[in-house]
Amino acid sequence: MMKNKDRVIKYCVYIVLLTGLAIGIAVLFPQVRQMIIELAERMMHRKIPFHEKWTQQLLFYAIGGIFLIDFSYYCSLTAPGKMLVCKTKNEIRECLAEIDWRSLIKPVLIMSGVYLLGIISLIRANFLYIDDIMRTVYGYRKWYEWNRYVSEFFSTFIHADFHLTDISPLPQLIAILILAVSSVLLIYALNNKKITITGLLASVPIGLSPYMLGCLSYRFDAPYMALSVLAAIVPFLFYTSKKAFVFCSVVCLLIMCMTYQAASGIYILITLVLCFDDWNKKRKTNREVFLFLGRAVISFSMAMVFFRFFLMKPYDPPYGYASTSMLSLSQLFSGILTNIRTYMNTINSDFSFIWKALIGIIFCFFIAKSILPSAQNKIYSFFAAFILLCLLFFLSFGVYIVLEQPLFAPRAMYGFGVLLAIISIYIVYDFNKIAKILALSLSWSFLVFAFSYGNALADQKHYADFRIAILLQDLSALYPDKDKDENRITIQLKNTIGFTPSIRNIAKHNPVIYKLVPQILRQECEGGVESYIHVYYLQYDNYGLANMDNFQRAIEMGQPYVDFKTLDLPIVLKTYYHTIRSDGKRVLVELNDGYQ
């Protein structure tokens, strides 16, 4: 009797699953979606006030809910489902039991100390970095608008409130602890569970590459950006188990997507290096290597598809910002080539000659290590290593490589720093001493740059505060009326204040400094994009003027956007640092570069 009952339940679940799958495939066609919308409108006797993309998203949510419910029933009510859950749990327990957790404490403390040393000047700079200004002033989170639901959730615990306040340097300290754990676990996965001091120091680019420094500069976002790196590494603790690896991969990759999607390439990088190493040394048969690669690719695809259709909200970039839209099939090949070219050119223009020389030599040592101890044909090993390096470089950009309009800011490119750490860890393990020296030299150069960067932030902040104080003093003298309602003034900026001499000196050999150090006072973007600089000098600064609005605030109050640079406003004040033009209601501040 029980067997018949289980069989009926199993077939019912299969029927529901197949029905959900059929519906899911059907709604991918616009005609079907339109038919569903029209049917719903007839039933409700009114028009559905949703844009097409949001209606499509709601349908995807519904289908995702059906699949989750069906899968839950399958796992809890059918014998095969219960067995699957039981085996997965047992594999996870066995993998975790094999790890000597106490042996990892000392390496984590060492790397935490190294990373803390690296960002100590950054913390001392006390610089409100881009988004930090708005979050400090208004206390909002809004990570969910960028599909970063995990960031939204954990921020409540870190800040002990739903309302954000500036609690630095606590978030950055949490971030370096997470990055320290990431470094140790990466070495653990790549070096066959063997952790050495050389390997730890070779992993420094994970946390102190110039691109990751951009992430650590954020007082509020830093822990979640670091968590995205850790989430991409954790699945490889279950490398030897099948079901546990797939399950943990999907879960961790979803966490990564819901913290910061720029880490999306890290999982694939580690997978390819592990597969190559197993193939090259013949530790596994070709079949076993491809089976593991297949599990990893399927896990990655499942997580990305689930995130894309059931968790990610559509976002149209305003005025040239990054897009979440993927390249169409007709533009996929050409678009990927364009993104790769831009990615290469960006890194080439950002990095100094010494960095590029060290990286080039380290890559050569990677090929040499792949050939010399190889159990495969040496020629095959050479070409496989070379092709692998090319793939690793391109894939370090993650899923951004297939976006219509990817972001090429430093905070979106820290996957390249993780790639450098992976290659460095690989070549310092049981290989040439010169390779170790070069890998450690790259880590040392990044550590030194981190000191320069932190000091540069402090220098630029002092200069910007000086310029802001002068500007606001002149504005308060020209417009002393404090009435907030009747005599409101809208202000716009033109040009920038430039960079301090110390930053210009750093940029001679490390041009990436220009991208890392933001200009607090700068010309606002055209088209009405909200600018953080106005919040800083009109509301956050002690000289805040209550009767002045930035252009974004003016738009919110119903005023049309007008570019004041197109108007012939009379000059009301001209100084060494700026020229102020105004007609009494509209103010255009033309900034002068104080060091030119």
3-state secondary structure 229-267: HHHHHHHHHHCCCHHHHHHHHHHHHHHHHCCCHHHHHHH
Question: Does 21 map to a domain?
Answer: yes
Q: Please give the torsion angle defined by the CA atoms of residues 112, 113, 117 and 120, in that order, rounded to the nearest 10 degrees.
A: 60
The three-class DSSP label of residue 498 is coil
Give the DSSP letter of residue 326: B
Domain with 404, as residue range(s), is: 92-431
The whole-number pLDDT of residue 515 equals 92
pLDDT tens for 490-527 read: 788 888 888 999 999 999 999 999 999 988 777 655 44
The whole-number pLDDT of residue 351 equals 94
Q: What angle do CA 191, 194, 197 make, to 5 degrees?
A: 100
According to DSSP, the residues that pair with 403 across neighbouring strands are: 326
Cβ atoms of 468 and 537 closer than 8 Å: yes
Say if residue 143 is in the same domain as residue 13.
no
Q: Which long-range contacts (CB under 8 A, 24 or more apart) does 77-81 make?
A: 77/9, 77/13, 78/6, 78/9, 78/10, 78/13, 79/6, 79/10, 80/10
Q: What angle do CA 399, 245, 390 make, to 5 degrees?
A: 40
Residue 239 and residue 259: Cα distance in Å, rounded? 23
The whole-number pLDDT of residue 52 equals 47
Instruction: Write down the number of H helices and E strands in the chain.
Output: 24, 5
Both structure tokens of 405? 């309009």
Question: Does 312 map to a domain?
Answer: yes
Residue 436 and residue 195: Cα distance in Å, rounded? 15
Say if residue 227 is in the same domain as residue 255.
yes
Residue 347 and residue 416: Cα distance in Å, rounded? 9
Sign of the Cα torsion 526, 581, 533, 593 reads: positive
Say if residue 402 is in the same domain as residue 297.
yes
Both structure tokens of 154? 């954990």
Say if residue 404 is in the same domain as residue 353.
yes
The whole-number pLDDT of residue 82 equals 65
Say if residue 202 is in the same domain as residue 345.
yes
Question: Does 85 map to a domain?
Answer: no
The whole-number pLDDT of residue 74 equals 58
Say if residue 288 is in the same domain as residue 420.
yes
The whole-number pLDDT of residue 391 equals 94
- Is 97 buried (19+), middle (13-18) or exposed (0-12) by CB count in 10 A? exposed
User: pTM (2 decimals)?
Assistant: 0.85
Sequence-ordered list of residues with C-beta below 8 angstroms from that of 277, at least 6 positions apart, any chain: 190, 283, 426
Question: Does 441 map to a domain?
Answer: no
Say if residue 505 is in the same domain as residue 407.
no
Give the DSSP letter of residue 560: P
The whole-number pLDDT of residue 123 equals 94
Cβ-based neighbour number of residue 157 at 10 Å: 8
Question: Does 454 map to a domain?
Answer: no
Question: Does 495 map to a domain?
Answer: yes
Rg (CA), the chain: 27
Residue 449 and residue 441: Cα distance in Å, rounded? 12
The whole-number pLDDT of residue 527 equals 44
Tell which residue, 502, 535, 539, has the closest CA to residue 520. 535
What is the domain count for the chain? Answer: 3
Question: Does 436 map to a domain?
Answer: no
The whole-number pLDDT of residue 63 equals 56
Say if residue 220 is in the same domain as residue 274.
yes
Say if residue 163 is in the same domain as residue 119.
yes
For the chain, list residues with pLDDT below 50.
Answer: 50-54, 319-320, 526-530, 532, 542
Both structure tokens of 494? 């033109």
Q: What angle do CA 291, 253, 265 make, to 5 degrees?
A: 80
Helix (H) / strand (E) containing 489 = strand 489-494
Sequence-ordered list of residues with C-beta below 8 angstroms from that of 409, at least 6 positions apart, any chain: 214, 515
Say if residue 382 is in the same domain as residue 477.
no
Say if residue 73 is in the same domain as residue 107.
no
Both structure tokens of 490? 């809208």
Cα distances (angstroms) measured from residue 458 to each of 63, 125, 409, 499, 535 = 51, 4, 21, 12, 20
Residue 376 and residue 373: Cα distance in Å, rounded? 9
Say if residue 417 is in the same domain as residue 544.
no
The whole-number pLDDT of residue 525 equals 52
Question: Does 447 map to a domain?
Answer: no
Domain final residue pick, 77, 101, 122? 77
Cβ atoms of 503 and 556 closer than 8 Å: no
The three-class DSSP label of residue 371 is helix
